Chain A
């Protein structure tokens, strides 16, 4: 790990008050350092607080104890340098694909003139191969296309960190594979720092440089961190029998289903 981390999560707790003096400790003493240009995924059972971590980094939720630093600056509110791709895409249904991205670009890049805005928007629409659908409304395109628009919108504001909350969770497995490939290709072009919340073991290994494994809540914290030493670009077909891939996959499965197995109450 380099001396100066890009994003630093330092002894962070998250406590939700339940009323009547009671409280729920969702996260306890979470420590994590993320490098620039790194793809990190956070994996764990449902209820382990992995989405909570993302919301804290995004600034959509407040930290109870500890601090999160992005390039040595404390995070305490949402901001466009930390773009979020939401699980359900959250495109505005009354705007076209183009307008959804344009709205974000116009707000964040007020230095651009109208011609530059148009070029900028089109650049990111082309990045996710959606030129043909730019004038369609979200209701007229498939779930996978919507999520690509969500990614394009997030990238178009050129964030320092791209936060993805189970971005492909609601999609069928073929579409999901397609989007994972898209994401890896785009990240290689743009060099974004990406944090992905997931509950999919293969997705975590395929996409990540490191996989952060969360223990179960309450008082969830980071259990293990796994380095995925696979060269890029990664090819899902050839990885199926790759030793490193199988080792990583095995380690995560071991963590999730043996060490921190979750039994239904």
Chain B
């Protein structure tokens, strides 16, 4: 019991103390680096009016985060809409796998930012560009995990489908998808994580709106405490997104409902 208290409360608190100490040392060594206390006070200021709107380029932190999230979910939704069918196709057809796999392997390691200039040129629109960049980088885990899920359908279940003479359509919806859904959600969770990583970098380059733009803007304003606040908020939002995705994934995972 005592040991458990030490593990869950004392150790994290101790670590927090160490972090603050390191941070304080850094802020003493580097002139102008915000101290923990300054940052805390600034955080309260930033959070006290998160929804103010003084026109383009000067909006509250919640509005900045919201516009980033909008783009992330736009690209993410597109990645799901395209990625799941493509993954099903690759998983079920050897021919499709042979045809498509080389392109996946080559496009997957491309940095999202490499797509950005091309997308800006094509769309000539910041929102569309950000959504496209999110789409093209977050689609790969969805395709790969969906295909993996399809391939993990056991031969026994497929034999059941054969004996019952299920049509291809019935086979997909009654046998393959139930098995593949947990894998698909794993892919979606990875995908959303990547999307949230990418949006910050993309917005720094495109400018205008969003949490990435906000951080870069505060750098140009020499407002360094806001950069740290941005980092913390990005982390918190990313954590919340991942937790929500995890809960949704568990809800759709038949293995997590007291079965098997």
Tell me if B38 is interfacial: C-beta within 8 Å of chain A. Answer: no
- In the complex, chain A residues whose CB is within 8 Å of the CB of B118: none
Given A93-B254, A93-B259, A139-B259; A79-B163 close (CB under 8 Å): yes
- Asked if residues B159 and A60 are in contact (CB atoms below 8 Å), the reply is yes
Contact A80 B156 (CB under 8 A): no
**CB within 8 A of A92: which of B157, B163, B258?**
B157
Which residue in chain A gives the minimum CB-CB distance to B155?
A: A90
Contacts of B260 in A (CB 8 A): 93, 137-139
Please give, as numbers and ranges, the residues of chain A lying within 8 Å of B255 by CB-CB distance: 93
Please give me the residue from chain B that is nearest to A100 by CB atom. Answer: B160
Interface string of B56-84 (1 = CB under 8 A from A): 00000000000000000000000000000
Convert B132-167 into 0s and 1s, putting 1 for each residue whose CB lies closer than 8 angstroms to a CB of A.
000000000000000000000010110110111110
**In the docked arrangement, what's the CA distance between A90 and B179, Å?**
13
Residues of chain A from 203 to 225 with CB closer than 8 A to chain B in the complex = none
Q: Which of these binds chain B: A81-89, A112-120, A188-196, A253-261?
A: A81-89
* A94-B178, A107-B164, A138-B260 known; A84 vs B254 contact (CB < 8 Å): no
CB pair B165–A88 under 8 Å, yes or no, is no
**Contact of B125 with A by CB under 8 A:** no
Q: B179: nearest residue on chain A (CB-CB)?
A: A94
Interface of B: prevailing SS: helix
Provide the A72-108 mask, 1 if CB < 8 A to any CB of B, else 0: 0000001110111010101011100000000110011
Asked if B156 and A137 sit within 8 Å, CB to CB, the answer is: no
Contact of B156 among A58, A59, A90, A140 (CB under 8 A): A90
Residue among B160, B170, B258 with max Cβ neighbours from chain A (10 Å): B160
Given contacts A86-B159, A90-B157, A92-B175, contact A139 B258 (CB under 8 A): yes
Cβ–Cβ < 8 Å partners of A127 in chain B: none
| Cβ contacts under 8 Å, A86 to chain B | 156, 159-160
Most chain B CB within a 10 A radius of its CB, from A59, A103, A108: A103
User: How many contacting A-B pairs (Cβ < 8 A)?
Assistant: 60
Interface assignment of B48: CB less than 8 Å from any CB of chain A? no
Complexed CA–CA distance, A107 and B175 (Å): 13
| Proximity bits, B232-260, A CB within 8 Å = 1, else 0 | 00000000000000000000001101111
Q: How far is the CA of A139 from the CA of B156 in the complex (A)?
A: 16
Query: Is B111 an interface residue when CB atoms closer than 8 A count as contact?
Result: no
Other-chain contact of A107, B157, B166, B259 (Cβ < 8 Å) = B166
B174 within 8 A of A: yes
* A157 touches which of B164, B170, B174, B178 (Cβ 8 Å): B164
Q: Is the CB of A78 within 8 A of B162?
A: yes
Chain A residues, CB < 8 A from B165: 78-80, 107
Q: How far is the CA of A197 from the CA of B56 in the complex (A)?
A: 76
- In Å, the complex CA distance between A139 and B258 comes to 8
Docked-complex contact B259 and A82, CB < 8 angstroms? no
Given contacts A80-B164, A139-B258, contact A107 B170 (CB under 8 A): yes
> Does the CB pair B254–A94 fall under 8 Å?
yes
The answer to whether B259 touches A140 (Cβ under 8 A) is: yes
A8 to B173, CA, bound (A): 36
* Residue of B whose beta carbon sits closest to that of A91: B160
Check A78–B175 contact: CB distance below 8 A: no
Residues in chain A near residue B166, CB distance under 8 A: 107
Minimum distance in angstroms from A111 CB to a CB of chain B:
15
In the complex, which residues of chain A have a beta carbon less than 8 angstroms from the beta carbon of B164?
A: 80, 103-104, 107-108, 157
- Which of B157, B159, B163, B260 has the largest number of chain A CB atoms within 10 A? B163
Closest to B252 in A: A94
Q: A107-B170, A140-B259 are in contact. Are A92 and B160 (CB under 8 A)?
A: yes
> A138-B260, A139-B260, A140-B259 in contact; A60/B162 too (CB < 8 A)?
yes
Smallest CB separation, B79 vs chain A (Å): 25
Task: List the A residue with the shortest CB-CB distance to B159.
Answer: A60
Q: Find out whether the CB atom of A78 lies under 8 angstroms from the CB atom of B163.
A: yes
Kindly list chain B residues whose C-beta atoms are within 8 Å of the C-beta of A60. Answer: 159, 162-163
Contact A138 B160 (CB under 8 A): no
Best-buried of A80, A88, A107 by chain B (most CB within 10 Å): A107
A88 and B260 CA atoms in complex are apart in Å by 13
B154 contacts which chain A residues (CB < 8 A)? Answer: 90
Q: Which 10 A-B pairs have the closest CB atoms?
A: A139-B259, A90-B156, A94-B254, A139-B260, A137-B259, A78-B162, A94-B178, A107-B164, A78-B163, A93-B260
Q: List 5 A-B contacts (CB under 8 A).
A: A58-B163, A78-B163, A78-B165, A83-B163, A138-B259
Residues of B within 8 A of A (CB): 154, 156-157, 159-160, 162-166, 170, 174-175, 178, 254-255, 257-260
